[in-house]
Amino acid sequence: MRILRTPEERFADLPGFPYEPRYADVPDGLRMAYVEAGPAGGEPVVLLHGEPSWSFLYRHVMPELAAAGLRAIAVDLIGFGRSDKPADQAEHTYARHVEWTRALLFDALRLSRVTVVGQDWGGLIGLRIAAEHPERIARIVAANTGLPSGDIPMPEVWHQFRNAVLKAPVLDIARLVQAGCRTELSEAIRAAYDAPFPDESYKAGPRVMPSLVPITPDDPAAPANRAAWQVLTTLERPFLVAFSDGDPITGGMAPILLKSISGTSGLRHPVIKGAGHFLQEDAGAELGRQIAAFVTST
């Protein structure tokens, strides 16, 4: 495996993100990065980002969790942020991303009683981990995400996004994040989203992730996702659905989750107002408060 590692100086002077990076080794000789906020003895809340962002996305969420006495752990998926980046798209598979993240959380950090928060690809990975290791999970938060198995068609806007990512001669990471936000990102914020990728050779992860989403019933990841659905529908764990009111990509998943998953019963599920796909950017503090209230009340 040919591995690239973003130079640390690319992450200098990140606005509103003072957290010191931490690292752990995961399978395939890779180093995975994460940051923490809050007391080390607090209940762990794992924050998983999606395509094409990194843990910087959670900079407004983490202080709210820390203030509630929780241990916020924001992860950089392999291929993103400060984590190592396999340079060949073929090295990225859905199964590998699940295993890399599982190894970080359970082998390296030895977490238990975890609240998993997933948005976008963070949900596709986090929901699989929760279903496959329920003994380590206390709660689940799904925020603008889902668990596709290829049995239900994806919306046309998602196919347009997938094709744009695959075909773009130069993949403009900051522009993709901006397109998923209601608020206007400053130049400094846009630069922070570009920071992990010095040139196109570092972008195999963002390039390939849309094509790893199961969109046909015979996709290699479809059986594992169907199995995960079977577990999640009856899993006795509190499950919060915290979607924004303006996400054309995953918005249709909210009612499916609420109807299908027994852990959603009896909970008040917030709709985050005035936010797009990247609700952490548009309303991160509000999302953080909702997560904190959910964890401390269950």
The DSSP code for 74 is E
Active-site residues: which are they? Answer: 120, 247, 277
Residue 104 tokens, joined = 């970080």
What is the spatial distance between Cα 271 and Cα 240, in angstroms, rounded to a whole number? 11
Give the count of alpha carbons within 13 A of 94, CB side only.
24
Question: Which of 188, 194, 141 is closest to 170 using CA atoms?
Answer: 194
pLDDT in single tens digits along all 298 residues of the chain: 999 999 999 999 999 999 999 999 999 999 999 999 999 999 999 999 999 999 999 999 999 999 999 999 999 999 999 999 999 999 999 999 999 999 999 999 999 999 999 999 999 999 999 999 999 999 999 999 999 998 888 888 888 888 888 888 899 999 999 999 999 999 999 999 999 999 999 999 999 999 999 988 999 999 999 999 999 999 999 999 999 999 988 999 999 999 999 999 999 999 999 999 999 999 999 999 999 999 999 9
DSSP secondary structure letters along 146-196: ----SSSPPPHHHHHHHHHHHH-SS--HHHHHHHT-SSPPPHHHHHHHHTT
> Tell me: the pLDDT tens digits for 243-275?
999 998 899 999 999 999 999 999 999 999 999
> How distant, in Å, are the alpha carbons of 2, 147, 155, 196, 205 from that of 201?
11, 29, 30, 11, 10
The DSSP code for 13 is T
Q: Where are the beta strands (DSSP E) in 209-250?
A: 239-241, 243-244
CB 244 within 8 A of CB 283: yes
Question: Which of 240, 244, 241 is closest to 278 using CA atoms?
Answer: 244
What does the pLDDT read at residue 20? 96
What does the pLDDT read at residue 107? 98
